[in-house]
Structures are given as C-alpha cells and as structure tokens.
Structure 1
Amino acid sequence: MHWYERGITMTMVCILCEILLSPQQPPNNDDDILLLPRKHRRLPQRKLSNILDLKKPKHLRLLNLQQPIQNMTKFDCVHTKTKPPFPICVYEASKDKYISGALLSGGIWEPYITEVFQRALSKYPESTLIDIGANIGYYSLLAVHMHRSVIAIEPQWDNIQRLHKGAQLSGSLDRIELLHNALSNTHENVSLTDNLDNQGGIQVKPIQMGIHARDKTQVETIIMDDLLQIADFTQAIIKIDIEGYECKAMAEAKKFLDKIYVPYIFMEWKQMFTARNEQDSPCPMVAMETLAKYLTSRGYVPHEARTGFLLNPQLASSAWRIGDLYWRHKSASRLQADF
C-alpha cells in the first residue's frame, strides 16, 4: 500500500470513529427520523407491519384491529340486505331504535341515502371513505365490501366494539383504520352524552368541571387536518354525521382539502339547523353560514341527499329544513336515488 493510500484509509477511519463516538442528537425536525423517509413514516399501520415507525401520529388514537377486542360486551351480529351484503353488529332495538332497529327489521339503513352513497363510491373507485361519526360501522363496512379503504372515526366505545367485530367478521381488517376520537376544530378532551334508545344520537359536549369531569366518558378530539398524518391516498369521499358538531369538524379542513381531492361530502344538516338558536349550540347560525360560504368558495355545490335537488347556500341557516345533504365539487357529477 502506498503512503497516500494509507493516508486516505486513516482519514476515513478517523471520520467513522468521530461519527460512532459522538453523542446522538435528537432529531431537529420531523424529517430527521433516522433512515425512514417521510413518505413511509406516515402510511397507515397496515403498510407499516415491518417498519419501525419512530414518528407516531399526534392526537390520533389509532386502534390495532389485529388485537382482541378489549372488555367486549355481548351483542348480536346480523347480515344486511344491501348489495353487497355484509355482517354488522347491532344493539337491541330497544337501545338503538333507529339504526339497529332498521337493520334488525329490514336489513338496511337509510335506503335512499345508501343508494346515493354507493353511486358516489362507484364513480370514484380509487377513493378512500372518511367516515366521521362511524357509529356501528354501517357506511364503513358497506364501503369495505365495495373494495374501498376506510378511515372510520368514532368516539363511543360501545360503537367501536361493534365496528371492530364487524370488521373482523368481514375479513377486512387491512382496509379499515379505526380512530377512537371525536372530530372538532381544536384539540381538547370532551365528554359524551347518554342516549338510552338512540345510540346514533350521542353528542359531544365540552367538559365542565363538576358536571362532566368525573361522571362522563371523555375522549380526545382531533381536527380534520390531523388525518394527513395517516393519509396514503389522493382521493376521498367524506361522510359526516356527528349530531350537530359538523361545522366544528369542517372548520379545520383547509390543508386536507388542499391536498386530497374530495368530490363529495355527505353531511347531516338537521341537528345543526334544529339547535342553531340554542345558547350552547356548537353550530349557531353564524357558524352554519360560515361553513356554507367556505365550502362554496372551494367549489362545492349543496344538494338534498335523496333527490339531488339543488340548494341555495345563502339559505343554509334559515331554510334548509332537511335531514341530509351532500356537497358536490363542481368537477363531480350530480347524484340522486331512483324512486
């Protein structure tokens, strides 16, 4: 070995020693996570089975559906009469008179909206469903059986158990990301109300010391933009039914809508409209008007969900006495059910 070769070798050894012996510094930002690139760190858990992800999503209570259901209560599961049919786990009709009652008696929930919803999914086969207020998983599991991926967000633990079991029975665990969170416009802990005969009517309430602090179930909220931490898709269809909290849930969605193309947003409107003048309403008239103006500014047009009837966004807080609607992006086609 020549003298200059020995010099180069010694220099390389010294550099290597300096690297190995120097103290490890914590990452300065979230791009400095060892050797795991950003595009892999934030994929859903089904894509990370063999990757050590050192950057866990903040605020998101992402459940591992491969694990057994914790503290599972006894409940029945039935098969729907939708096309395609799928297993779903329900309450007794006396405890959940609307959704479970309809599934137990007729095998389908909201047939006209179901039809329109399926048409939306069929038009965008690459889309992921964002199911906000997933309840026992009717729309999530229907989407899964149409071979779509789903992010389901549900705060109520009894509902989560049933959705989890339904996903297991469907053999579709790799298609569902289930979050035990509520959606709002800020990060906080909130409480859930009780509803003895309508599990779909449970509402989110701010925690008040002495009233909700000890005797109510609490859950952490996330904002819509948080979902980008686990988004590995570029198209999504949103379904949101959270009992009058919809305006809060959509208030922090700018980054999400900037990055993800959303042709349709299915939304319950009735609860917001009914409670708009109440003193403690989470979505008063001004918030409803702000929501309508914001979505309109982003190119969305409102339609009544079943008929596809075009709505005037200027009347959102004063005249929309409808149960459900969908916001259609101007680039997407109009939907309606067959009567």
Structure 2
Amino acid sequence: NRVVLVQNAIYPVSGKSLTIRINDDPSGLNLFDDQANNLPKREYVVKTLRFDDVLPILIARNVKTAMIKIDIEASESFMCESGSKIFKEINIPYIMMEWSSIRSKYQERYQFMIDFFSARGYVATDQSCKDLRIKDWLKNWPGNVFWLKRNYPRQLLCANVKQP
C-alpha cells in the first residue's frame, strides 16, 4: 500500500496529450509534443501532469520523506520545472538521476536542473558518493548522478562513508 502508480507523463503543463513512441534506442521510449490520429502499434497517447500534481497523493498517504529514482530520457528537467512544491513540502534527501549522454543537446535543461538542486541545498555525487564539480557537468559527469541534501547525514545515504 506504499506504492502508487500514476499513468501520466511528467511535464511542465498538466492535461496535455503527448505521444510516446516505443523505438529501438536503449530506453525504448521517446516523448513527442504531438498527437497523431492514426497511431501505429508502437505509439501511445498519454496525458501529462506536473510533478506537483502528485503532492496531494503524498500528503494523503502521510509521506514526509522520500527518495527519488528518475530516468525519463533527457526530460528529467520537467520534474524540476513542475515540482517546486513537492521539494518544499517533502523531505527528499536523495535523488538518483540518469545524466544522459545527450546533455550537450539539451544544455539549458541540464543547467536548469543544476541550478534547481543547488538552490535547494543539494550536492551532486557519483555512485561512490564522491562530490562532482559543478563546472564539469557537461563533459565529465558519469551516466548516473546522485543528488544528496548537503545537510543530511551522508553516512545514512552512502554505504562507503564511515560513521563518525
């Protein structure tokens, strides 16, 4: 009873219809801002929601703290663009995020995420909890980035950090 599946796509605007195409790239999905009338078998129309639209569900389930694992194919910034209330109301000490190799194509989106998390007191780390240098995000960050709240006890989030 602690898991809720929401069958919508996170997007900056709620209620919009978007087409998801299943294709042959590693993720298998792409999101398009158009709605075709005759959809091939590998295309589906989904309704969008803002990440903040999930907040009433979290409140109803008395969620106070959560961890996020997000991988939405270069659209992770939509979570940030549409989720400021959730990040204000819910304690989220840990976010695991795919840091796509196509970040150079969407530099503004990725810079927005860095600014969003930095403004909320997060630090970017690699899988071993080693801090990443913000200025290296475009070329040198690994494929998975872990955003940790700076004021949260690191030993609670990182297996390799020794207790004081």
Residues 314 and 234 (structure 1), Cα distance of their counterparts in 2 relative to 1, 3 Å cut: same
Which digits, 9 at most, give the CA deviation of each residue in 1:178-228, with x for residues without a partner? 111111111211111222485x431222115xxx34313100111111111
Q: Matched residue pairs, number?
A: 151
Paired position in structure 2 for 1:180:
7
Paired position in structure 2 for 1:256:
86
User: Does residue 1:329 correspond to 2:149, yes or no?
Assistant: yes
Q: Which structure has more strand as a fraction of its residues? A: 2
| Equivalent in 281, 288, 295 of residue 110 of structure 2 | 288
| Displacement of 1:336 | 5.1
Whether contact under 8 Å (2:80, 2:116) holds in the other structure is: no
User: Does residue 1:202 correspond to 2:24, yes or no?
Assistant: no
> 5+ unaligned residues in a row in structure 2: which ranges?
none
Paired position in structure 1 for 2:52:
225
Residues 205 and 288 (structure 1), Cα distance of their counterparts in 2 relative to 1, 3 Å cut: same
| Displacement of 1:307 | 2.0
CA distance in 1, matches of 2:47, 2:78: 14
Q: Which structure has more helix as a fraction of its residues? A: 1
Identity %: 25
Which digits, 9 at most, give the CA deviation of each residue in 1:115-169, with x for residues without a partner? xxxxxxxxxxxxxxxxxxxxxxxxxxxxxxxxxxxxxxxxxxxxxxxxxxxxxxx
CA distance in 2, matches of 1:300, 1:213: 43
Whether contact under 8 Å (1:239, 1:265) holds in the other structure is: yes
| Equivalent in 111, 121, 125 of residue 303 of structure 1 | 125
User: Does residue 1:267 correspond to 2:97, yes or no?
Assistant: yes
- Measured on the aligned residues, the alpha-carbon RMSD in Å equals 2.1
TM-score of the superposed pair, with normalisation by structure 2: 0.82
Specify the SS of the correspondent of 1:218. strand
| Runs of 4+ off more than 4 Å | none
Question: Of the two structures, which has the highest relative contact order with CA contacts closer than 8 Å and spacing of 6 or more?
Answer: 2
Paired position in structure 1 for 2:38:
214
CA distance in 2, matches of 1:262, 1:309: 19
Paired position in structure 2 for 1:51:
none
TM-score of the superposed pair, with normalisation by structure 1: 0.41
Q: Compare CA radii of gyration and give the structure with the larger one.
A: 1
